[in-house]
């Protein structure tokens, strides 16, 4: 399938998921050049302003942190983060400043967790640090998840997933689950979430979560099967993910799974067949056979299966 056909399918999918009509697409195409430059400038100044605000808060905190009491430290971090979150919500109500909400939510997502940890450090009386991480994750997940449910902003979907991962990873660790199992569960869950995002209006963040989920899953599985009787099963899982990438139409997943297969084959060759001429020849023959079988499968599909369907 050509790149043009791929692009058309993505456009159709986005239009269906967001209820966009042909008339609206046609109107947007005529108005796009006029709006594009102003939109880019608005986004640029929004991000630059956010960077300066965040830098100012960090520099002020670094300069006067030792002179502040406990309440002032909490207000400076948690209070500032919460106010930025409120301002971000306010900007969503005005189309002129809606683009500024993204950097505001980003800064809030950094300052509020920091403020919660500062508050716990100043006022808590010890205990398991994981309880503090869990407390922070719950607060932020409820805040961002509930706001996303109402506002349906992609930025809030992203941050909700981040805090959700922190919450479940910490909870599983408190339940004394192994790191390999945690990585497998989190990675698989993120792949499912990324697939759901692909078929929604928040498809822009799907590639990132495909990357994080696939890396987490493949690394965890490799650690679990390394030097065991199930070692070769890793190659099968990587091959399955290559197939899965074609099904979900994700280039990110294809890249990660392909690199995983190549790295595993290189590691396996070095670990088990170092300085053996027969192994690389066998890989070349197997690769040519797979290419031939793939071409035959396409011909059979086009000649028999498609015609019957």
DSSP string, 154-193: HHHHHHHHHHHHHHHHHHHHHTT--HHHHHHHHHHHHHHH
Number of residues written out for the chain:
309
Separation between Cα atoms, residue 2 and residue 13, nearest integer Å: 17
Please tell me the predicted confidence (pLDDT) of residue 61: 77
Please tell me the predicted confidence (pLDDT) of residue 305: 44
Q: Are residues 158 and 184 in the same domain?
A: no
Give me the half-sphere count of Cα atoms (radius 13 Å) on the Cβ side of residue 183: 15
Q: Identify the segments of the chain with pLDDT beneath 70.
A: 1-19, 24-50, 54, 97, 270-280, 282-283, 286, 289-290, 292-309
Q: Are residues 76 and 48 in the same domain?
A: yes
Q: Are residues 187 and 136 in the same domain?
A: no
158: left (phi over 0), alpha (psi -120 to 50) or beta: alpha
Please tell me the predicted confidence (pLDDT) of residue 293: 54
Please tell me the predicted confidence (pLDDT) of residue 1: 47
Q: Are residues 143 and 184 in the same domain?
A: no
Please tell me the predicted confidence (pLDDT) of residue 289: 64
Does residue 148 fall inside a structural domain? yes
Q: Cα 46 vs. chain centroid, distance in angstroms?
A: 23
Does residue 155 fall inside a structural domain? yes
The residue segments making up the domain with residue 308 are: 273-309
Q: Are residues 4 and 71 in the same domain?
A: yes
Provide the domain count of the chain. 4
Please tell me the predicted confidence (pLDDT) of residue 213: 94
Does residue 122 fall inside a structural domain? no
Q: Are residues 16 and 53 in the same domain?
A: yes
Q: Are residues 255 and 287 in the same domain?
A: no
Does residue 229 fall inside a structural domain? yes
Q: Are residues 80 and 42 in the same domain?
A: yes
Please tell me the predicted confidence (pLDDT) of residue 9: 66
Q: Are residues 226 and 207 in the same domain?
A: yes
Q: Are residues 86 and 162 in the same domain?
A: no
């Amino acid at each position: 399938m050509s790149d043009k056909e791929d692009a058309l399918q993505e456009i159709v999918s986005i239009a269906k998921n967001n209820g966009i009509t042909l008339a609206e697409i046609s109107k947007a195409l005529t108005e796009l050049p006029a709006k594009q430059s102003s939109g880019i400038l608005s986004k640029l100044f929004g991000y630059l302003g956010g960077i300066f605000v965040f830098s100012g808060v960090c520099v002020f905190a670094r300069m006067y942190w030792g002179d502040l009491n406990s309440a002032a430290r909490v207000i400076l971090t948690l209070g500032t983060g919460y106010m930025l979150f409120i301002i971000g919500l306010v900007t969503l109500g005005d189309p002129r400043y809606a683009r500024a909400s993204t950097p505001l939510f980003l800064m809030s997502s950094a300052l509020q967790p920091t403020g919660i940890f500062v508050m716990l450090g100043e006022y808590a009386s010890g205990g398991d640090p994981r309880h503090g991480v869990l407390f922070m994750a719950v607060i932020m997940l409820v805040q961002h998840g509930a706001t996303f449910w109402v506002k349906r902003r992609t930025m809030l979907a992203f941050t909700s997933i981040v805090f959700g991962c922190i919450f479940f990873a910490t909870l599983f660790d408190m339940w004394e689950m192994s790191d390999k199992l945690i990585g497998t569960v989190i990675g698989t869950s993120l792949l499912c979430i990324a697939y759901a995002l692909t078929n929604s209006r928040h498809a822009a963040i799907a590639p990132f979560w495909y990357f994080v989920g696939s890396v987490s899953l493949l690394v965890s599985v490799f650690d679990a099967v390394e030097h065991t009787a199930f070692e070769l099963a890793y190659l099968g899982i990587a091959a399955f993910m290559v197939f899965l990438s074609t099904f979900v139409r994700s280039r990110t997943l294809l890249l990660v799974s392909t690199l995983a297969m190549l790295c595993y084959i290189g590691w396996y060759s070095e670990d088990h067949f170092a300085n053996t001429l027969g192994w690389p020849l066998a890989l070349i023959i197997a690769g040519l056979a797979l290419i031939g079988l793939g071409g035959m499968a396409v011909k059979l599909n086009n000649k028999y299966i498609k015609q019957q369907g």
